[in-house]
Amino acid sequence: MAQRFKTAPVPSGEVARYTSDPYNLSSIYMFGSSSPFTGQGNTIVRPNDDLLIQKGGNRALVVYQRLLYDEQVQSTFRKLMQEVTSRPWYVQQYSDKPGDLAVRDFVAEVLEEMPLDDIYVGMAESLIAGFSVGEIMWKKTKRGVIPFDIRMRDQRRFVFQEDEDAHTGFTMRCLTFNRMFEGVELPQRKFIVSRYWVSHNGDPYGSALGRILYPLVKFRRRAIESYVLYGDRYATPTAVAKAPLSASTRELDTLYGHLSNLSQETAMILPEGYELEFVVPSGSPEVFKNLIDYIDKEISLVICGENEAGQAEAGSRASSQVANTVRVVRASELSESISHTLSQTLIRWIVDLNFGTDVAAPFLTREFRIEESSITVPDLSLLIQSGYTPRKEWIERHFRVELEEKDGKDGEPESDQTTYDPKEDQDLFGSIFGGQEGDQVGKQAAAADLQAAADETAMPAGADPEESQADATDVDPAAELSQIIDDTPEPGSQGPLEMSLEDLLSDEDEETKPFGNDKITEDEAVEMDK
């Protein structure tokens, strides 16, 4: 019989790997028996960036690191990161099972003790440099193995080696004094790598915005330098002196020295035949100022995606709102990328070291509200009345409130005390034994239960037959209980069990009380028993 269904073969291996690219040979290091043509050996790669390759490979990453020292890049970068760090973060459980909730609470408690906002800012440097590396510092406590800090390291100290079995196709190695080229192997669950890929070309060093910002920052610094020099010339006119042909070299040097110090001196005397005049430049420094403003807007546009939010000379309010939304979207994308990296590394490793590798891990995220929701409290009440119950976590995040659960109805705790209702508890015999009036089967079942109870209580544990309760009282409990059941009146007749408990408990008949309303003391009770 022919097969109707057949499973397709699964492709294995990395065919178009990074080191097999014939157009990318300039970004490959080789040591030992490595060869990109045979695919054997250990292949160390370097950034696929022409600027970094010209300046020395991964050691030239300091060029991108210094971009953060520029005031415009730093202010724009901080403005973007403030959109991230100002959002509340929370740990979302994998499921609503008690075990997953316990794991979520443990991870959230550990993260509360760490400078999470600083970690986000450090990991976000990959936006400028291409990638960032953080070293996790672990410690053993009574609660378990927990991290207490993540220390950001210099990107120049790390190189990447090709490894097809690795998560990203590369393993990271650290350069030391003894191994300045190939580096040393790093332990597992120790380093976190955050990459920023724009072109997704497979470069393990990432595709940073630094290659775009570098020429802009370079031109900006030159424009500022020219602006300062031009401003100095424009504010202080140039002094020009005319000397006769008979003036000696010493006299010319003395005159030049006086002209150089003319800004500090109030007056000067020239010999006869010398002339002095001031030349004021006819241009305007606005040319350089406009160039600087243009470059500043381009830098803000590259990093934040907008160039007018927060500017005094910005356009209309609607335009500023659109620019603000664009910046928030860019910040949310960066935050989600870092949160995903931390969830796959830091949080996953915390669960591995404390609960096991087969336990599902929660994930970290930040609450971004791109557009303000129009749902109000009356709208939420209408949804609940319609049968849609929102989650408590969503209500807390949406309205920015903290809710506390209370037991009972209307916020009052439930009471476990037994209460008496005369109407509902009128027929206690029928409610206890489950039989109706005149039901002989119910009476027989009740008699059997009472007989069994009497058999258990007739002979105390460890007592002789002559010392038993039955011999002491000369009364058979089983016979007495059977007599009580047989004396039950027929339906329609008035008997003692047909009387309501309200009549039995009433205080109207004082004659049934031997002592009236007075309380019976212990001595009086003994005398009554006698």
Q: Where are the beta strands (DSSP E) in 188-316?
A: 191-195, 238-242, 275-279
Q: What string of DSSP letters covers 166-191?
A: SSSSEEEEE--SS-SSS-EEPPTTSE
Q: Residue 276: what are its φ and ψ, rounded to 5°? A: -135, 135
- SS3 state of residue 28: strand
pLDDT at site 517: 57
Token pair 């209580």 in the structure block, residue: 457
Single out the residue of 51, 49, 42 nearest to residue 173, CA to CA.
Answer: 42
How far, in Å, CA of 168 to CA of 17, rounded?
A: 11
pLDDT at 510: 46
CA distance 530 to 527: 5
> What is the H or E stretch that residue 29 is in?
strand 28-30
pTM (two decimals): 0.66
Instruction: For residue 205, give the nearest of 38, 31, 29, 392 by alpha carbon.
Output: 29
Q: Is the Cβ–Cβ distance between 362 and 91 less than 8 Å?
A: yes
Assigned token pair, 244: 């006769």
Q: Name residue 136's beta-bridge partners.
A: 150
The one-character DSSP state at 411 is G
Tell me how far apart the alpha carbons of residues 339 and 142 are, in angstroms, rounded to a whole number: 27
Q: Cα(429)–Cα(498) distance, rounded to whole angstroms?
A: 10
DSSP character for 40? Answer: B
The β-bridge relationship of strands 43-45 and 158-162 is antiparallel
Spell 53-79 as b/e; 16+ CB within 10 A means b.
eeeebbbbbebbbebeebebbeebbeb
pLDDT in tens, the chain (530 residues): 556 667 788 887 778 877 777 777 665 665 544 444 444 456 788 888 888 888 887 888 999 999 999 999 999 999 999 999 999 898 999 988 999 999 999 999 999 999 999 999 999 999 999 999 999 999 999 999 999 999 999 999 999 988 878 888 889 999 999 888 888 999 999 999 999 987 777 788 988 899 999 999 999 999 999 888 887 777 777 778 888 888 888 888 888 887 777 766 666 667 777 777 777 777 777 888 899 999 999 999 999 988 876 565 666 777 888 888 889 999 999 999 999 999 999 999 999 999 999 999 999 999 887 555 678 888 888 888 888 888 877 787 777 777 877 655 444 545 545 565 666 655 555 555 454 544 555 566 667 776 776 665 555 555 554 544 444 445 555 555 556 555 555 555 544 444 544 554 444 444 445 555 556 677 777 777 76
Q: Helix, strand, coil: what percent of the chain each, to 5?
A: 45, 10, 40
Residue whose C-alpha is closest to residue 213's, from 98, 66, 357, 347: 66
Quick: pLDDT tens for 297-341: 999 999 998 887 656 566 677 788 888 888 999 999 999 999 999
What's the token pair of residue 233? 């010339």
Residue whose tokens read 């915390």: 350
- How far apart CA 436 and CA 24 sit, in angstroms, is 94
Distance CA(513)–CA(519), nearest Å, equals 10
